[in-house]
Amino acid sequence: MSSPITCIEDLRRLAQKRVPRMFYDYADSGSWTETTYRANESDFQPIKLRQRVAVNMEGRSLRTTMVGQDVAMPVAIAPTGLTGMQHADGEILAARAAHRFGVPFTLSTMSICSIEDIAAHTQAPFWFQVYMMRDRDFVERLIDRAKAVNCSALMLTLDLQILGQRHKDIKNGLSAPPKPTLANLVNLATKPRWCLGMLGTPRRTFGNIVGHAKGVGDMSSLASWTAEQFDPALSWADVEWVKKRWGGKLILKGIMDAEDARLAVDSGADALVVSNHGGRQLDGAPSSIHALPAIVEAVGGAMEVWMDGGIRSGQDVIKALALGARGTLIGRPFLYGLGAMGEAGVTKCLELIARELDITMAFCGRTDINTVGRDILVPGSFPLAS
């Protein structure tokens, strides 16, 4: 008899058993020495919460808004590449779970299921994440496709102009679908549940790119296209161009510096995400939670500040809110749930985080998540704006 799932770590362990090594490692690793990847998680631990007593804890609410959209809690599903390789039709399943729970789902450009797949299988508006590519016509068509299915916000990722040094992906020969090497075949033989799922779906490549980008008709042409397409010349002028082309709510992801945060405000975007790409880009950068206070101070309320990186519980969420974030994004936690149990696992992930957030808020003497501030933290236990 299997033991009950009580925390995100339980989902992680189960995902590790069920997902092929190259895709599990893709989700659960960082760049170079993984210093920043580990710090994202560990830097939450020293932050201490003030426990309050004899406070009426009835009638609690986690409801709030993110870029004007009502959400069940201040948590959104982050855009993650290759989600449909953690579990067959992974993006569709995660989008469904998020919609039912009442939190936003963000589809990555580098997803397995396409924009149109998500729109056809879910009734809710979702967010779409885009990278700046050298092929501006392709980026324009991506934005227009997101408009056509009524995506409610566009997220522009700014920190992937060049790819971080990801050793595990190189060693595993990461590809979608996996290359039939001996090592991969041996590993796949130990993951029958995953293999059966993949046999039952036609979605095994990058649905937003293959058949849409010029000269990309299959996986072999995709590899060379992606190597050439991420644009190292990305500038704030490009951000302005995207905003004008899109015309709706724009979120900028990958801000880690107060000076860049002020430039983000000047760009006219609606929100920014304090993010180091899950520790997968610049190893040696500070953790997201450590960078958050200075960025909140620099923005000064001119736009919404969110954060991602290292969140593994509702307690992490409330610590981020206490330090000034208006919302948070989760990547690895929902991927663990997806790899472990499919759609039910994503739902379980959201339930766990919501319950931990609700209970922690009550212990801190709050009943409305919108009233959480720095005064719920023990002075001296958290990073200050520099």
Q: Which residues sit in the known binding site for glyoxylate?
A: 26, 131, 166, 277, 280
Quick one: DSSP state of residue 154?
Answer: E
Distances (CA, A) of 209 to 95, 219, 224: 19, 10, 12
- Measured between alpha carbons, how far is 297 from 328 in angstroms, rounded to an integer? 17
Residue 277: active-site member: yes
Interhelix angle 343-363/90-101, nearest 10 degrees: 40
- Catalytic annotation, pick one of 87, 121, 167, 277: 277
Could you list the residues known to form a binding site for FMN, using ranges: 79-81, 108, 129, 157, 253, 275, 308-312, 331-332
Q: How many C-alpha atoms does 95 have within 13 Å on its Cβ side?
A: 29
> 156 with 242: CB under 8 angstroms?
yes
**Core vs surface per residue 53-67: b (16+ CB within 10 A) or e:** eeeeeeeeebebebb
> Which amino acid is located at 323 in the chain?
L
Could you list the residues known to form a binding site, using ranges: 26, 79-81, 108, 129, 131, 157, 166, 253, 275, 277, 280, 308-312, 331-332
Q: Return the structure tokens found at 201.
A: 């779906």
Which residues are the active-site residues?
277
